[in-house]
A and B are shown apart, each in its own frame.
Chain A
Amino acid sequence: MRYDNPELQSLLAAEYVIGALQGKARDRFEQLLISSQSLRTAVVNWETYFSLIDDDVVEPVNPSSQAWRGIETRLFAETRQTISRWWRSFALIAASLLAVLLLQWFDEPEFEELSLDYVAVLQSAEQQPIWSVSIRGQGKQLEAVALDVPELPTALDYELWLLAGEGDAPVSLGLLPRQGAVMRELALITFEGATALAVSREQKGGSITGSPTEGAVLYVAKLFPSST
């Protein structure tokens, strides 16, 4: 196929980057980009060089305050609706959580019942709950309940992360169950200022770097204080 020719790939990539590739040719090229690593590399190479032209001619223009408000509304108004849907589905989740809690109570009596601090529900892009997570006893105890967890190869694990304040690195809260529930003690983890939880896909046993693997974060959920 001609598109496999590096010379042609580079020229098409250049035409794409400057906008000279138009109409159906542009659509077809974008389709090829999805599956061709060498084509993506060619595009990035040209983007990198041509962006140097921007450095020469860009004269920063301050946007109006409406621009940021528009972005917030378009992005996070949806989140507010999602939260609303979350509360509607909370009754269902709470029922399953209660059932698991009762089982845990009988199976693991060494865990004392602690006051609820935070809850979060990690959902798929289709708003399907995947795990519910609760933090108790002023951050000393974590419980994660698997609700409807997507299949994952056995060589991989789902790892839970706490997103703390701005500038702080995510903190691992351990691996998540594929089914059932886990309850674990936490030590030296500060939840104050934390806003969200995230789940990444990691190799078996969790990330070896202490941070979520780049590009492997799958789900993010807001952490709700129990008082709200």
Chain B
Amino acid sequence: MESDKQLTQVIGRIGLGDRHAFKKLYDATAPRLLSILRRMVHDHQQSEDLLQEVYIKVWHQAGSYRADKSSPLTWMGSIARYTAIDFIRKQERQPTTVAESVVTEVAAPKTSPTNIEQQHLSNCIQLLSSDQRNAIIAAYLGGYTHSELSHRYNSPLGTIKSWIRRGLRSLKECLSI
């Protein structure tokens, strides 16, 4: 994976219409974005279709990318996630098709936090109640809707919304955002 600085330069060139730079960015980042999309959409072919949409957006939006606002991977990851969220909402995905293994990945990370921000986030997430933590992480990583979460945790919709809202408020305070 290229460094943030290298990716920023590559995106700058894409903003000027450089197709070689575009292919370079794709090669460096597509596996990560496809991973994010597959986790949310669960179907490989649909994920690859969405991956195409994501890079078409990247091509068109590269000229307005602001490196001082967010890192290249955060910017591209967000484009991927919002593309998947829009797709999921349109599809009205059935809760029964949702994989069960997503949330535990973050509740028990495979690796130790590698920097201060990760450590800070990890600490703040651990301060949440398990219901709040699971609901927020499932929504973020899996693209779960409120109703899917309601089905998943066998809890009323209002309870799910409350877990998420209160959990986010706690996270906000802890992270000082």
Q: List the A side residues contacting B15 at CB < 8 Å.
A: 215, 217
B13 and A22 contact, CB distance less than 8 A:
no
Contact with A along B75-119 (1 / 0, CB 8 A): 001100100010011000000000000000110011100100110
Query: Which of A52-60, A129-137, A140-148 sits within the interface?
Result: A52-60
B145 part of interface (Cβ distance < 8 Å):
yes
B69 and A49 contact, CB distance less than 8 A:
no
Instruction: Give the interface SS of chain A, mostly helix, strand, loop or mixed.
Output: helix
The winner among A64, A71, A212, A214 for most chain B CB atoms within 10 A is A71
Q: List the B side residues contacting A74 at CB < 8 Å.
A: 52, 56
Q: List the A side residues contacting B139 at CB < 8 Å.
A: 18-20
B106 and A63 contact, CB distance less than 8 A:
no
B66 part of interface (Cβ distance < 8 Å):
yes
A70 part of interface (Cβ distance < 8 Å):
yes
A19 and B74 contact, CB distance less than 8 A:
no
Query: Which of A9-17, A95-103, A111-119, A179-187 sits within the interface?
Result: A9-17
Q: When chains A and B are docked, how far (Å) is the Cα of A140 from the Cα of B37?
A: 50
A60 and B32 contact, CB distance less than 8 A:
yes
Q: List the A side residues contacting B121 at CB < 8 Å.
A: 49, 52-53
B169 part of interface (Cβ distance < 8 Å):
yes
A61 and B56 contact, CB distance less than 8 A:
no
B99 to chain A, nearest CB (A): 13
Q: When chains A and B are docked, how far (Å) is the Cα of A22 from the Cα of B105?
A: 25
A18 and B26 contact, CB distance less than 8 A:
no
Q: List the B side residues contacting A57 at CB < 8 Å.
A: 39, 105-106, 109-110, 141
A-B interface pairs (CB < 8 A), number: 161
A99 to chain B, nearest CB (A): 29
Which listed residue, A22, A75, A161, A163, touches B89 by the CB 8 Å rule? A22
Which listed residue, B35, B73, B109, B146, touches A22 by the CB 8 Å rule? B146
B128 part of interface (Cβ distance < 8 Å):
no
B167 to chain A, nearest CB (A): 9
Contact with B along A60-97 (1 / 0, CB 8 A): 11111011101100111000000000000000000000
B7 part of interface (Cβ distance < 8 Å):
no
Which listed residue, A20, A41, A44, A217, touches B63 by the CB 8 Å rule? A217
A48 part of interface (Cβ distance < 8 Å):
yes
Q: Do A55 and B78 form a contact, CB below 8 Å, given A47-B70, A67-B48, A198-B16?
A: no
A139 part of interface (Cβ distance < 8 Å):
no
B16 and A196 contact, CB distance less than 8 A:
yes
Contact with A along B156-168 (1 / 0, CB 8 A): 0000010011001
A105 part of interface (Cβ distance < 8 Å):
no
B18 part of interface (Cβ distance < 8 Å):
yes
Could you list 11 further interchain pairs (A-B, Cβ under 8 angstroms) beyond the known A57-B106, A60-B35, A196-B18? A11-B165, A19-B139, A26-B89, A53-B140, A54-B73, A55-B114, A57-B109, A62-B31, A62-B34, A63-B30, A67-B51
Identify the 6 closest CB pairs spanning chains A and B, nearest first: A60-B31, A220-B17, A18-B140, A51-B74, A14-B168, A57-B105
By a beta-carbon cutoff of 8 Å, the part of chain B in contact with chain A is 12-13, 15-21, 23-24, 26, 30-32, 34-36, 38-39, 48-49, 51-52, 55-56, 59, 63-64, 66, 69-71, 73-74, 77-78, 81, 85, 88-89, 105-106, 109-111, 114, 117-118, 121, 136-137, 139-141, 143-146, 161, 164-165, 168-169, 171-172, 175, 177
